Chains A and B, each alone.
Chain A
Amino acid sequence: MFESLSTRLQDVFKSLRGETRLTPDAIEAALREIRLALLEADVNFKVVKAFIDRVRDRAMDTVDDGILRGLVPSQQVVKIVRDEMVALFGNAEGGLQPSAKRPRVILLLGLQGAGKTTTAGKLGKWLTKQGRHPLLVSTDVKRPAAIEQLNVVGRKASLRVHDPAGELEPVARARSAVAEANNLGFDVVIVDTAGRLHIDDELMRELIAIKDATDPSDRLFVADAMTGQDAIKSAGEFNARVGVTGVVLTKLDGDARGGAALSVVSVVGVPIAFAGSGERLEDLEPFHPERVVSRVLGMGDVLSLIEKAEAAITEEDAERLEEKIRANEFTLEDFRDQLKTIRRMGPLESIIGMIPGMSNMKELAENKPDEKQISRVEAIINSMTVEERRKQHIINGSRRKRIAKGSGTSVEEVNRLLKQFVQMQKMLKQLGGMAGLTGGGKKARRQATQMLRNRR
């Protein structure tokens, strides 16, 4: 997410790198590029104007009194842009504010197609992980099959969906869900509302009626990351009429630059509570403004990556793996486990976006990782016998043929995998050798000696 914007800004700062100090001309040149990048990222026109003015003021100050002279010019600008962006996003962390209400009612608002129903499922799943017991209800009686869609989402997420048969009045549906939650001990009610367009007075009246009937502590505005300059108007309208307490930003796994995020937060003045970044029901996480700013500026999102890895890998798993690498016992079975772990972390592309420096690799953008490829590799390994997985050197020609047949791949693919695996084993051997400085290959020893020599 935001890759393109980070790439743009990095280009801007590259041009500043040659300068020894910030000059007014250099600042103006950088500001022009930043302005263009922000506009192309769909940041609202007025927000861009205000943002550029603030950055200019602060940057020009540094030319005058040189407070930041310790930093090179590009770093100075990065620092100012970063500070101002954090200010723009709001300093509030994402997630839900604490509330003592039982049941806690969460209203999901937004335009058609923003992703409200999907968000209802994802949010329910997230709350379940937090130890809460959510009940879902749809009040969208207008869009064909909207209620059915929430039922299906609920089934997939193993969440209870309240669907009073025959009740087609939105307010009554919401009210009966709250009553149901009270009776059955659910502590959160997620209300999925109808979409439509915000100029629709009828919908606004309906939302206000639902709000009055259920007294929701959270009114989350669901916004599509791909939305354009109109975002600010729709968010503003919902806020003025119903009152918005937070924003859920959806479809961030695309390549939308998400400038709408910057705009909505700064204009409506509410924080982004959650960000949706994939099609799986787990792909919703509390929003971290600091991290996204870092990502915009191309520093990667190491924190998020670490958290994801932690959630997917247990500590024992990690220790066992390290042990194996040390003892040169890394087998095809372990390799398959690793692939599974990576998959548990979410879509490959969103993971790669979090690695510092990866987001601006042009080759990567053209050569996107193919999730299918992982499935094929897994299929190949699954088609081997246990013995073959542990000792890949016994895999001869006829075994290769059998494996290819069994996995629906070709012998070439099996060959390629085995070759890559052997290379990987060699690499790991060296790493293991380096770590202990015992054993290891010739190359590892040579590198170690080289390192010692350099130190002297």
Chain B
Amino acid sequence: MSVLNRLRDSLTRTKQQIVDRFDDIVRRADEPDRRSRSVDVDTIEALEEVLISADVGVAATDRIVAAVKRRPRDGSSLRDLVKQEIRAVFAAVDRPLAVTDRPKVTLVVGVNGTGKTTTVGKLANLLKNDGQRPLICAADTFRAAAVEQLEIWAQRAGVDMVRAREGSDPAAVVFDAISSGKARGRDPILVDTAGRLHTRVNLMNELEKIRRIAGREVAGAPQEVLLVLDATVGQNGVTQAREFMGAAGVNGIVLSKLDGTAKGGVAVAIATDLNLPIRYVGVGETIDDLVPFSADEYVEGLFEEKW
């Protein structure tokens, strides 16, 4: 199955709930004789419900709805108007990553249980298949069996891993990994960190230390800091992104577990509020189920066909 198909397939489930309820209202709104009129109150309300139920959040929903209301319809369908708006949100935050010094160090951070370890494993696999030579660094020295879990992923991906014992200093492991990566010519270095709630000051300071050590070894490192968000997360996802931006310099989002029924609509809220791009999407449980994010596919998958 192609990457695009798989993403679409997983988003079909996502779409289902949105679509079923919304279908009728939109079909009515899109009837030829109403296409020239402005969007009526009932439709707007239904649109609000759909977006909020998708975890898009009140602020982003208001923005999208307002934009839809403002637009002259000129015979275009409501569906296209909404799609255009969401695509515009993602287009505004899309920017390539600047990496000058090598190796590139990618820090993977997030709260507990969002799928950081799994993401690191899949990312290593993705990059390796892309012809790169990644090295995994197991800096989650806190959670029970985290290192073992990552080791299994590393084996599956056929990528080397630098590990430390449970309870040792994460920054020291990162230092080891970077030295070893330089010596063995590995690039990028993928660092799995311990899950932490963004409200815990001391744990957030630990990330700061990891950053400092990485920056001392490679100028500008970590060049990429990915925040892994569970697609089921609600509006707290925005708070998480904001806090991790401040404490760990997050510059990209990975949306994990998008193969569930959750819509990951918080991605729209984060792009709107925080100007953060989505980099990758986790769409399944096998090692190949991490794909680069594409706004077009995301939006198409979310709002395609039926309605």
Q: How large is the interface on A (under 10, 10 to 19, 20 to 34, 35 or more residues)?
A: 35 or more
CA distance A231 to B55 in the complex (A): 11
Is chain A's interface secondary structure helix, strand, loop, or mixed overall? loop
Kindly identify which residue among B113, B143, B233 contacts A228, using a CB–CB cutoff of 8 Å: B233
Given the complex, which residues of B lie within 8 Å of A369, measured CB to CB? 201
CA distance A152 to B234 in the complex (A): 30
Instruction: Give the shortest distance, in Å, between A61 (CB) and chain B (any CB).
Output: 26
Instruction: Give the shortest distance, in Å, between A239 (CB) and chain B (any CB).
Output: 15
Kindly identify which residue among A39, A40, A152, A231 contacts B145, using a CB–CB cutoff of 8 Å: A152
Instruction: Give the shortest distance, in Å, between A379 (CB) and chain B (any CB).
Output: 15
Instruction: Give the shortest distance, in Å, between B244 (CB) and chain A (any CB).
Output: 12
Q: Decide if A145 touches B266 in the complex (CB within 8 Å).
A: no
CA distance A42 to B257 in the complex (A): 19
The segment out of A90-98, A191-199, A430-438 that lies at the interface is: A191-199
The residue on B at minimum CB distance from A155 is: B144
User: Does B114 sit within 8 A of A, measured CB to CB?
Assistant: yes
Given the complex, which residues of B lie within 8 Å of A11, measured CB to CB? none
CA distance A44 to B53 in the complex (A): 7
CA distance A153 to B53 in the complex (A): 36
What is the 8 Å Cβ interface bit string for chain B, positions 165-187, against chain A (1 contact, 0 not)? 00000000000000000000000
Given the complex, which residues of A lie within 8 Å of B205, measured CB to CB? 372
Total interface residues on B, CB under 8 Å, equals 47
CA distance A198 to B285 in the complex (A): 13
The segment out of A19-27, A111-119, A164-172, A400-408 that lies at the interface is: A111-119
Kindly identify which residue among B53, B112, B153, B265 contacts A115, using a CB–CB cutoff of 8 Å: B112
Is chain B's interface secondary structure helix, strand, loop, or mixed overall? loop
Q: Decide if A40 touches B235 in the complex (CB within 8 Å).
A: yes
Q: Decide if B234 touches A45 in the complex (CB within 8 Å).
A: no
Kindly identify which residue among A44, A45, A113, A230 contacts B113, using a CB–CB cutoff of 8 Å: A113
Instruction: Give the shortest distance, in Å, between B251 (CB) and chain A (any CB).
Output: 22
The residue on A at minimum CB distance from B256 is: A113
User: Does A233 sit within 8 A of B, measured CB to CB?
Assistant: yes
Q: Decide if A39 touches B52 in the complex (CB within 8 Å).
A: yes
Q: Decide if B58 touches A40 in the complex (CB within 8 Å).
A: yes
Q: Decide if A39 touches B58 in the complex (CB within 8 Å).
A: yes
Given the complex, which residues of A lie within 8 Å of B54, measured CB to CB? 229
What is the 8 Å Cβ interface bit string for chain A, positions 95-134, against chain B (1 contact, 0 not)? 0000000000000000111110000000000000000000
Given the complex, which residues of B lie within 8 Å of A39, measured CB to CB? 52, 58
Kindly identify which residue among B53, B113, B145, B260 contacts A229, using a CB–CB cutoff of 8 Å: B53
Known: A144-B152, A197-B257, A371-B202. A113 touches B112 (CB 8 A): yes
The residue on A at minimum CB distance from B51 is: A45
Q: Decide if A224 touches B113 in the complex (CB within 8 Å).
A: yes
What is the 8 Å Cβ interface bit string for chain B, positions 18-61, against chain A (1 contact, 0 not)? 00000000000000000000000000000001001111011000
User: Does B17 sit within 8 A of A, measured CB to CB?
Assistant: yes
Given the complex, which residues of B lie within 8 Å of A62, measured CB to CB? none
The residue on B at minimum CB distance from A148 is: B145
Instruction: Give the shortest distance, in Å, between B201 (CB) and chain A (any CB).
Output: 5
Given the complex, which residues of A lie within 8 Å of B5, measured CB to CB? none
Instruction: Give the shortest distance, in Å, between A108 (CB) and chain B (any CB).
Output: 14
B residues 232-277 near A (Cβ < 8 Å) are: 232-237, 239-240, 257, 259-263, 265-266
Q: Decide if A228 touches B145 in the complex (CB within 8 Å).
A: no
Given the complex, which residues of B lie within 8 Å of A153, measured CB to CB? 144
User: Does A219 sit within 8 A of B, measured CB to CB?
Assistant: no
The residue on A at minimum CB distance from B144 is: A152
Kindly identify which residue among B57, B143, B285 contacts A40, using a CB–CB cutoff of 8 Å: B57
Given the complex, which residues of B lie within 8 Å of A347, measured CB to CB? 200
CA distance A20 to B149 in the complex (A): 62
Known: A152-B144, A224-B113, A229-B55. A371 touches B201 (CB 8 A): yes
Instruction: Give the shortest distance, in Å, between B232 (CB) and chain A (any CB).
Output: 5
Instruction: Give the shortest distance, in Å, between A279 (CB) and chain B (any CB).
Output: 8
User: Does B115 sit within 8 A of A, measured CB to CB?
Assistant: yes
Q: Decide if B261 touches A112 in the complex (CB within 8 Å).
A: no
User: Does A349 sit within 8 A of B, measured CB to CB?
Assistant: yes
Number of A-B contacts (CB under 8 A): 144
Instruction: Give the shortest distance, in Å, between B119 (CB) and chain A (any CB).
Output: 12
Instruction: Give the shortest distance, in Å, between A343 (CB) and chain B (any CB).
Output: 13
Instruction: Give the shortest distance, in Å, between A283 (CB) and chain B (any CB).
Output: 12
CA distance A111 to B261 in the complex (A): 11
Given the complex, which residues of A lie within 8 Å of B285, measured CB to CB? 196
Instruction: Give the shortest distance, in Å, between B158 (CB) and chain A (any CB).
Output: 15
The segment out of A81-89, A255-263, A391-399 that lies at the interface is: A255-263
User: Does A156 sit within 8 A of B, measured CB to CB?
Assistant: yes
What is the 8 Å Cβ interface bit string for chain B, positions 122-143, against chain A (1 contact, 0 not)? 0000000000000000000001
Kindly identify which residue among B58, B230, B234, B266 contacts A113, using a CB–CB cutoff of 8 Å: B230
Given the complex, which residues of B lie within 8 Å of A199, measured CB to CB? 13, 260-261
Given the complex, which residues of B lie within 8 Å of A42, measured CB to CB? 55, 234-236
A residues 224-281 near B (Cβ < 8 Å) are: 224-231, 233-234, 251, 253-257, 259-260
CA distance A196 to B13 in the complex (A): 15
Q: Decide if B201 touches A231 in the complex (CB within 8 Å).
A: no
CA distance A202 to B153 in the complex (A): 23
CA distance A326 to B266 in the complex (A): 56
CA distance A261 to B40 in the complex (A): 34
Q: Decide if A255 touches B236 in the complex (CB within 8 Å).
A: yes
Given the complex, which residues of A lie within 8 Å of B259, measured CB to CB? 197
Task: Name B's A-contacting residues (CB within 8 A).
Answer: 13, 17, 49, 52-55, 57-58, 111-115, 143-146, 148-149, 152-153, 197-202, 205, 230, 232-237, 239-240, 257, 259-263, 265-266, 285
Task: Name A's B-contacting residues (CB within 8 A).
Answer: 36, 39-42, 44-45, 111-115, 143-146, 148-149, 151-153, 156, 196-199, 224-231, 233-234, 251, 253-257, 259-260, 347, 349, 368-372
Ranked nearest first, the 9 interchain pairs of A and B with the lowest CB-CB distance are: A228-B234, A113-B113, A152-B144, A42-B234, A144-B152, A145-B149, A149-B145, A230-B262, A197-B260
- Inter-chain pairs besides A113-B112, A234-B261, A251-B113, 8 sampled, C-beta below 8 Å: A40-B58, A113-B115, A145-B148, A148-B144, A226-B240, A228-B232, A228-B265, A230-B55
Complex A-B: 21 CB contacts under 8 Å: A40-B235, A113-B112, A113-B230, A145-B148, A148-B145, A148-B148, A149-B144, A151-B145, A153-B144, A197-B261, A199-B260, A229-B53, A230-B55, A230-B262, A234-B232, A253-B197, A254-B198, A256-B239, A257-B235, A370-B201, A371-B201
